[in-house]
Amino acid sequence: MNDDDVREMLRTKADDMRIAPGAPRQVLRRSRRRRRMTTAIAGGVAVLVALGAFAGVRAATHSGAAPGSRFAGNGSPTPTPTVIPSASSGAIDVSAPSSGETVTSPITVSGDADVFEAVVSIRILDDKGATIADTTTMASCGSGCRGTYSAQVPFSVAKEEAGTIMVFEASAKDGTPINVVRIPVTLEPGGAPSSETGFDGIWPADDDAQLAALRGNSNYADPIQTATAFAVQILGWSPSDVTPGPGTSTSGDQSYVVLWNPKLHSPYDRSSALNFQLRKAGDIWIVRHVDTGLFDLLNPSIRQDVVVASSQQITGQFAQGVNPSGWKVTAVLMPAGTGLTGSEAEQTADIPISGSGFDGKVSVPPTSGGDVELVVSVTNGNGETLGLWARRLSTAG
């Protein structure tokens, strides 16, 4: 029974108490007083009912059964973990570090997020805006649900300086940062040394020492220059044949470059292009990832960061309309630090082609827990490299 029902019941009761015509005046006065009292009681009862309902909701709330709680099978509430953000972009909250905090290596970056495939990207910038650490971590949930994340990110600076912790989601379209959160901090030298696994570049530098040696080298001062040099030196394309394609773009310290070779692929088709993701490290642009429109690499996926077994499955699907007759697929895993030039420890495997796809395995070289670089290439019957997929992975060993 709600408030209106109570009022109506009491009002009806009062109406039923009407005195017949001709009653003495004294009786009529007493009757009117009773009816006024009954109406007042109706209002008071309605107020008490409302207060009781409020108390019930308040009690339920304070007992833990709040809106948004997750309930176990026995009906008891399991509260959703709460993260108090120091900064937020909506999709990403950062609870640590705090704005203005002084930090040493490694720095713990934590919070909660709802991002594509739960992948949270973390970058540390020095006082000049150069990237000195770059890594990813996984939230406990993502792609439509919110999960917590935490990562220890190593870095190295020579002196105390201002810095920025940049936490973001890499766009599923082209890898550019979206939903960016920036936390200003003070970076201090000391702490644990920077780890090789914090470096995400594969070429022309794939460790801090190589990057330092390239400072000021004008050959890599522009993202298209770096991508072109990669096509020439790693794929063996003639410099005169390397042609930028549509879709090349640069935003801040991130760049997306499209290249193709008209002598190998003519006319231009998106499925024949090389797609580069690069970032700027100081005054040098370095390649983070390369893929080709000729095939999709299904295993490992672009979201895989770690090799956990003694071998890596290599599975791919050629683009629609592509005829791989006479082609060869080769996978190479090499320890990081070789700049994709190869090493005695590298492992190579020919991956069998079947129909419109390929599937096989390549062994993981001994790395003592360091990083490896995976290159999957497609060559034609003349030994010319038509396309390539390359990026860096960590190892669990």
Inform me whether the pLDDT recorded for 78 exceeds 50.
no
What percent of the chain is predicted at pLDDT more than 90? 40
Report pLDDT for 299.
Answer: 93
If one compares 378 and 84, the residue with the highest pLDDT of the two is: 378
CB-based contact 127:162 (threshold 8 Å): yes
31 has pLDDT over 60:
no
For residue 385, pLDDT beyond 80: yes
Instruction: Give the model's pLDDT for residue 75.
Output: 40
Report d(CA 109, CA 91) in Å as an integer.
Answer: 16
Q: Can you give the pLDDT at residue 225?
A: 96
> Cα dihedral angle (390, 174, 182, 223), rounded to 10 degrees?
60
Q: How crowded is residue 102: how many other Cβ atoms within 10 Å of its Cβ?
A: 11
For 97-158, give the DSSP string. SPTT-EEEESEEEEEEE--GGGEEEEEEE-TTS-EEEEEEEE-SS-SSS-EEEEEEE----S
pLDDT interval class at 384 (50, 70, 90): very high
CB 335 within 8 A of CB 346: yes
d(CA 323, CA 246): 24
* Residue % of the chain over a pLDDT of 70: 74
Rounded Cα–Cα distance for residues 221 and 231 (Å): 16
Spatial distance between the Cα atoms of 31 and 368, rounded to a whole number of angstroms = 98
Least confident of 269-273, 306-310, 345-349, 374-378: 269-273
For 203-249, what is each residue's pLDDT tens digit?
999 888 888 888 889 999 999 999 999 999 999 999 999 999 888 88
DSSP letters for 344-386: TT-EEEEEPEETTEEEEEEEPPP-TT-EEEEEEEEE-TT--EE
List the single range of 27-36, 344-353, 360-369 with lowest mean pLDDT.
27-36
* Amino acid symbol at 15: D
Long-range contacts from 92-97, C-beta under 8 angstroms, 24+ separation: 92/120, 92/167, 92/168, 92/169, 92/179, 92/181, 93/181, 94/165, 94/167, 94/181, 94/183, 97/165, 97/183, 97/185
The whole model's pTM is what? 0.56
Distance CA(380)–CA(368), nearest Å, equals 35
Residue 326 reports pLDDT greater than 80: yes
Lowest mean pLDDT among 45-59, 184-198, 281-295: 45-59
Give yes or no for a contact between 336 and 346, defined as CB atoms under 8 angstroms apart. Answer: no
Please return the burial class of 117, using the count of CB atoms within 10 Å of its CB with bins 0-12, 13-18 and 19+.
Answer: middle
